A and B are shown apart, each in its own frame.
Chain A
Amino acid sequence: MKKRINNYFTHFILCIASIFILVPIVWMFMTSFKYFKDIVSAKIIFKPTLFNYYNLFFEDKGFLLFFKNSIIIAFFSMLLCVFIGTLGAYGLSRFKWSNCIPLILLGWVVVVQTIPGITLVIPLYSIGMEMNILDTKLFMILINTILNIPLMLWLMMSFFKQIPDEIEEAALMDGASSWIIFVKIMLPLTKPAVIAGGLMTFIFSWKEFLMALNLTSTLNAMPLTVRIARFIQSYNVQYGNVAAAATLGAIPAILLAVFAQRYITSGITSGAVKG
């Protein structure tokens, strides 16, 4: 009996915490379906409208392009990151290194993880200018890849280390080449980690803001996050439109949390907890 009451109490507290988390999201969601008059009167009950979304997609010509930029940048940096990250993690964790290359490389990865992004903005701006790739999607894809590579490396290394050596030995006996072993044997064995890492690099590139704000300036490469920030900082803020744009920006995150919660959890924790 006492245990049961305890259980109800736990659920009660957790429900309150969940409500605190959901309220700002729901409030934004509601605002995105309101006419301006309903926003001003701050009504809870109102007649929903798609007016704001209509405005975004049909009145604001550039909006679809920002959306597209975000998707392209996130998607390709995910691909690149998964490819480079798994390959690197495989090499670092499954081979004998008699020199100090892995130590230096991983040490540097920790440095990259630690330094604030703003410190890289200034030199990256000049490098982008000199290489003539400033304000291109390619530059943003490369930068997002770099920002997410540490996560991918740690995650994949912790998974590769769990695979017994015998598997590679058996494949070698059968005469498989290094590439075949990597693609046909090691990758399928670590599929959950590859999925987790891929999803996380996608969402982290999707939510990246600092680099995009400073290194893009036109529709050419500017992603949704920068557009939303510009929206809300204009003098005559149209809260309905801002809320609609922000809701669209939040949707991938919510979908991921609902449908891939297990992968995200393993992605976040496996590196840190298992070491």
Chain B
Amino acid sequence: MNHKIFRYLNNKFKYLTILPVCILLIMFTFYPLVRLFYTSLNFVTIEGGKLVEKWIGLNNYISVFQDKIFRIAFFHTLVYVFTSVSLEIIIAFLLAMLVSNIKKSTFYRTIFIIPFLIPPVVNGTMWRLMYNPHYGLINMINNFLGLPYQYWLSNSSTALMGIVVASVWQWCGYSFLLLLAGLQSIPKNVFEAAKIDGANGLNLIIRIIIPILKPIILITLMFRIIYAFKAFGLFYVLTGGGPGYSTEILNTYIQKVFMTEQRIGFGSAASVISILIIGIIAIGFRKRLDLEGGKMK
């Protein structure tokens, strides 16, 4: 390497390139998170447009752990994440298998990616129109088949599943894209060799495809679990956490605590706890991915 290039690689320009990113990240993510942690240790009130903080130590955390609704919301979050992500990955995997078999797939790809580009609020609106007890499409079909009318979203036993369906509808295309890209990166001769050895159908999927795809399946799972923990718009529009608390998840609950009840200290403590929960899950996945030798971003 000659002298000039060496200087280029070490010049000040490289610091200049990352300066804007660093400034934005520090101002709008690092500093806010430090502050969040600080307010979680305080009793906070809003007086005249200013926050007044009074140190109370870990009391907020104690009240979060004693809070019954927080526990319910946490449970619902887990149920939602588990059911929606697992359903979605299975459906997306099957669709990706089918699409990877045909030559002209542009049409299907286009259709499958529409849902996750649509705003969650619009998605919620659509499904409210579908679920509407009086003039929704689903009840029309029910009526046609002679089944009774259902109040899908205002019935506490079906509301969460109603949201899961809308969520699977929305996110399937995302997992589909990742899994399809993984499937297409497998060399064709792997399949041919497997076929010569007599593997076919289910055997081929379980013994050959899934093991090869394991890293990409884990990555897809990880991204989807992280995104599912972020879900908010769909819940807000479809049920707003109701009826009662039957579809309350951590995000909607924290939002309510913060915006409606203005219990800022309590909300901050609940936020810190939810960061820790998702952090532990994400770190677990990373460890697993490192073991699998998969690359991740």
Contact = CB atoms under 8 A, between A and B. Distances in A.
Interface of A: 6-7, 10-11, 13-14, 17-18, 20-25, 27-28, 31, 39-42, 83-85, 87-88, 90-92, 95-97, 101-102, 105, 108-127, 129, 142-143, 145-146, 149, 153-154, 158, 168-169, 172-173, 178-179, 182, 203, 206-207, 209-210, 213-214, 225-226, 228-229, 232-233, 239, 242-243, 246, 249-250, 253-254, 256-258, 261, 264-265, 268-269, 271-275
A242 B125 contact: yes
B264 interface: yes
B278 A273 contact: no
Chain B binding surface SS class: helix
Interface stretch (B19-27, B59-67, B204-212): B19-27
A273 B233 contact: no
B18 A101 contact: yes
A118 B126 CA distance: 24
Interface string B246-285: 0000110011001100001001100110110011001000
B264 A122 contact: yes
Contacts of A143: 28
B115 interface: yes
A73 to B, nearest CB: 13
A238 B207 CA distance: 54
Interface of B: 4-5, 8-11, 13-18, 20-22, 24-25, 28-33, 35-36, 39, 49-51, 95, 98-99, 101-102, 106-115, 117-130, 132, 134-137, 140, 169, 172-174, 177-178, 181-182, 185, 216, 219-220, 223, 226, 229-230, 232-233, 236-237, 240, 250-251, 254-255, 258-259, 264, 267-268, 271-272, 274-275, 278-279, 282, 294-297
Nearest to B127: A24
A20 B113 CA distance: 13
A10 B98 contact: yes
Nearest to A115: B275
A169 B172 CA distance: 44
Given A91-B17, A96-B9, 9 more contacts: A7-B101, A18-B108, A87-B20, A116-B232, A116-B251, A116-B271, A119-B33, A119-B272, A129-B50
Contact of B182 (A168, A210, A273): A273
